[in-house]
Amino acid sequence: MKILFDKANILFHDGTSLKGAYLVTEGKNISYISAEKPKGNFDRVIDCSKKIIAPGLYNCHTHSPMSIFRGYGENLPDTARIFLWTDGFPRRYGLQKINLREMMFILVLWFL
């Protein structure tokens, strides 16, 4: 399948970038990157005018709200099940919005 990512902001591993550029994939491979629109037919065209394409960010997400409880249930048998269902979820969902904001601020500083 040949896919055109149209008008993307592309970040490269060396810190350089292209704004409003074009990227083409064929199967699992990138076959074209340029500021000039490629010619040809595509199976799919994806508008990326408000998107960023960057290397190494596949499924990039965080579980920051749970990080505050890091190490809390480490020595328990069957840690994940016991922690999540008997203690982790109740504590997490019992937090107030202001607690979460303060915790996220602390965690962002910790991540830096």
Amino acid at 34: S
Which listed CATH number (3.30.450.20, 2.30.40.10, 1.10.357.10, 3.30.465.10) goes with 2-53? 2.30.40.10
**Alpha carbon of 71 to those of 25, 67, 86, 109, 111: distances in Å?**
42, 9, 15, 19, 16
pLDDT in tens, 48-81: 998 999 877 666 666 666 666 666 556 666 656 5
Q: Where are the domains of the chain?
A: 2-53, 64-111
Strand runs labelled E in 1-112: 2-11, 17-26, 29-34, 44-47, 52-53
pLDDT in tens, 22-52: 999 999 999 999 999 999 999 999 999 989 9
- Tell me, yes or no, if the pTM score tops 0.75: no
For 46, residues 6+ apart whose C-beta sits below 8 A from its C-beta are: 3, 4, 5, 6
